[in-house]
Structure 1
Amino acid sequence: MKFAPVAAALALMLLAACGEDGAKAPVTGDPVRPFVARTLAGGEEIRLPEAVAGKVVVLRFWATWCAFCKDEMKSIEPLWQKERERGLVVLAVNAGQKAEDIEKFVADLGITYPVLLDPGAKVARAYGVTGLPMTFVVDREGKVRHRILGESDMEGFVKMVEGLL
């Protein structure tokens, strides 16, 4: 059924735009917003900013129905593999879907970076996410350096991230 992805996208956009706290997306120079989420693989609890202190972070909000998320998530994998030893952390925050709905999607893409669950899209709302994908790049001091709404140019994205490592 094609209506379900469209309805889910509209629901997410409405939730993000009318978040419980009316959150606006962080801008350049803002500190990373704290949150706690569990990983898809193993249910490990990840706490920001503690879990990423001193690291460069790509914080990516996505969903399985997002047309631009699939290829970009797959394109981030080689960057993660190459740069994680230099302090790159990639956290793919799934905006509101159930684990069983995203496991096959992630496995099919061969993603090895952490995928975080965001029941009810609470983290997405706290970050003012108004569309997917939405990506924040955070420096080693915990400050947002880049915000990307929608699909990004991978060459430019890699330069952006490597410039902070």
Structure 2
Amino acid sequence: MKLAAVPLIVAAAVMGGGDDLQTAGGAAFSLPDLLSRGPVVLVFWNTWLPGAGEFAKLLPGVETAAKQHGWPGAVIVFQERRSEVGHDFPALGDTLPFVFDRRGELLRRFQVTKAPAVLLVGRDGKVRSRCGPDPAEVAAIVREMARR
């Protein structure tokens, strides 16, 4: 009997819980739905990253550019459950909602190797540009958003 339960436990761990990709409001997040509106801007961020506080100050500017130039997107808070995170996030509007990626699925999907980071992603899901955490790089990618 004990051995029969092992595959179920392993399957549950692999499949993940219901909160693997959730918005701050608790709704499920769909990358394909977002990309269908693309190109999109994805910001990978978390409060525990070195320089996260300074980088967070750049997010309102990224969001303003996204809204002004018609870029849908999201701020991906990786490797955290929505319920585990405090409320020390930057104040943003609804153009770049916070999405919680508990298992780092999007981190791996877009091969993010340094964070915080900003990615411009085409409708096809391919990364067109990436930058961060250097503020000058973020300013350059905001200018690039205006050209597309």
Q: Could you tell me the TM-score, scaled by structure 2's length?
A: 0.69
Deviation at 1:133, TM superposition (A): 1.4
Indicate which of 50, 74, 79 corresponds to 2:57: 74
Specify whether residues 132 and 78 from structure 1 end up closer, same or farther in structure 2 by C-alpha distance, changes over 3 A only. closer
Aligned to 1:110: 91
**Matching of residue 162 in structure 1 with residue 140 in structure 2:** no
Spell out, residue by residue over 1:4-42, the C-alpha distance to the aligned partner (whole angstroms, 9 max, x if none): xxxxxxxxxxxxxxxx9xxxxxxxxxxxxxxx82101x1
Say which SS state the counterpart of residue 88 (structure 1) adopts. coil
Aligned to 2:120: 137
Specify whether residues 120 and 54 from structure 1 end up closer, same or farther in structure 2 by C-alpha distance, changes over 3 A only. closer
Deviation at 1:85, TM superposition (A): 5.4
Deviation at 1:152, TM superposition (A): 4.0
Specify whether residues 71 and 89 from structure 1 end up closer, same or farther in structure 2 by C-alpha distance, changes over 3 A only. farther
Aligned to 1:14: none
Indicate which of 32, 35, 43 corresponds to 1:60: 43
Identity of aligned residues (%): 22
Larger Rg: 2
Aligned to 1:146: 129
Q: Which amino acid aligns with 1:69?
A: A
Aligned residue pairs total 127
Let me know the Cα RMSD of the aligned residues. Answer: 2.6
Specify whether residues 55 and 87 from structure 1 end up closer, same or farther in structure 2 by C-alpha distance, changes over 3 A only. farther
Specify whether residues 158 and 149 from structure 1 end up closer, same or farther in structure 2 by C-alpha distance, changes over 3 A only. closer
Specify whether residues 38 and 57 from structure 1 end up closer, same or farther in structure 2 by C-alpha distance, changes over 3 A only. same
Q: Could you tell me the TM-score, scaled by structure 1's length?
A: 0.63
CA distance in 2, matches of 1:126, 1:151: 22
Deviation at 1:72, TM superposition (A): 2.5
Specify whether residues 94 and 162 from structure 1 end up closer, same or farther in structure 2 by C-alpha distance, changes over 3 A only. same
Contact 1:57/1:90 (CA < 8 Å) preserved in 2?
yes
Q: Which amino acid aligns with 1:37?
A: L
